[in-house]
């Protein structure tokens, strides 16, 4: 009889141990589930475009190449009027509002009102593009100034062309110094985590880069008149 009681007690102790183990596993599963649920759904990693050599960065670090690419892309889209500037400009501001700081959005809204009042938008088609030889790869040291881990100043040299119908009414070579800030507040609408903060200084007119002269024509070109660039 004593042997039977000992066996029963042994089995009861084993069941108790199994129950305690199950409770521990359940608690661990709950903790892991809470951690998984609270983890970010996505994480933006900025990788330099030139991958011929290895790169090691902190996950929160934004390389200058990425800042320049973001700035040029968003600014080009803001300034693009495919059919009618009177309608395209405000539509761009609405569509790209997640990529602009509130102060920059208000500044560009005032710019729109000013241009519309002066008749510079109606039926205007506009586009900006990077001047060849004036991009990031040609002079990276002066294109992006790192002010802090959250602030940059990006210099863009672009050509702005405007058309009224089929007639070109403006071509301006402009240097923009644009402020860029980290604004990772709406990853659903702005996965870059960056925003334009408009001008760091007033836009400047610039000269067109000199055209390269073929070696075979260098001697004959001396003293020849130079035509104006369009």
pLDDT tens, the chain, 230 aa long: 566 667 767 777 778 888 888 889 999 998 888 877 777 666 666 666 555 555 566 667 788 888 999 999 999 999 999 999 999 999 999 999 999 999 999 999 999 999 999 999 999 999 999 998 888 887 777 899 999 989 999 999 999 999 998 888 888 899 999 999 999 888 889 988 999 999 999 999 987 666 554 444 433 333 333 333 23
Q: How many other CB atoms are found less than 10 A from the CB of residue 43? A: 9
Through-space distance between the first and last CA atoms of the chain, rounded to whole angstroms: 111
Domains of the chain, by residue range, sit at 1-41, 64-205
Candidates 2.30.29.30, 3.40.50.620, 3.10.450.230, 3.90.180.10; CATH matching 64-205: 3.10.450.230
pTM above 0.85, yes or no: no
Strand (E) or helix (H) holding 201 = strand 194-205
How many other CB atoms are found less than 10 A from the CB of residue 176? 22
3-class DSSP state of 47? coil
C-alpha dist (Å) from residue 115 to 145, 147, 160: 30, 32, 15
Q: How far is CA 51 from CA 48, 54, 92, 108, in A?
A: 7, 7, 33, 36
The pair of three-digit structure tokens given for residue 36, joined into one six-digit string: 């998984």
């Amino acid at each position: 009889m004593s042997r039977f009681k000992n066996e029963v007690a042994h089995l009861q102790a084993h069941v108790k141990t199994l129950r305690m183990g199950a409770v521990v596993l359940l608690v661990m599963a709950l903790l892991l589930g809470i951690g998984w649920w609270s983890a970010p759904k996505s994480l933006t990693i900025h990788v330099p475009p030139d991958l011929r050599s290895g790169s090691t960065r902190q996950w929160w670090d934004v390389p200058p190449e990425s800042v320049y690419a973001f700035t040029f892309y968003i600014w080009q889209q803001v300034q693009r009027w495919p059919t009618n500037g009177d309608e395209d400009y405000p539509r761009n501001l609405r569509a790209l509002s997640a990529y602009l700081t509130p102060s920059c959005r208000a500044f560009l809204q005032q710019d729109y009102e000013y241009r519309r009042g002066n008749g510079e938008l109606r039926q205007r088609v506009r586009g900006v593009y990077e001047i060849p030889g004036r991009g990031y790869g040609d002079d990276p040291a002066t294109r992006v100034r790192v002010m802090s881990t959250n602030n940059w100043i990006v210099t863009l040299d672009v050509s702005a062309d405007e058309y009224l119908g089929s007639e070109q009414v403006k071509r301006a070579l402009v240097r923009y110094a644009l402020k860029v800030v980290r604004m990772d507040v709406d990853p659903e609408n702005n996965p870059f985590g960056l925003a334009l903060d408009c001008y760091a200084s007033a836009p400047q007119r610039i000269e067109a880069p000199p055209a390269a002269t073929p070696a075979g024509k260098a001697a004959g070109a001396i003293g020849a008149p130079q035509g104006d660039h369009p």
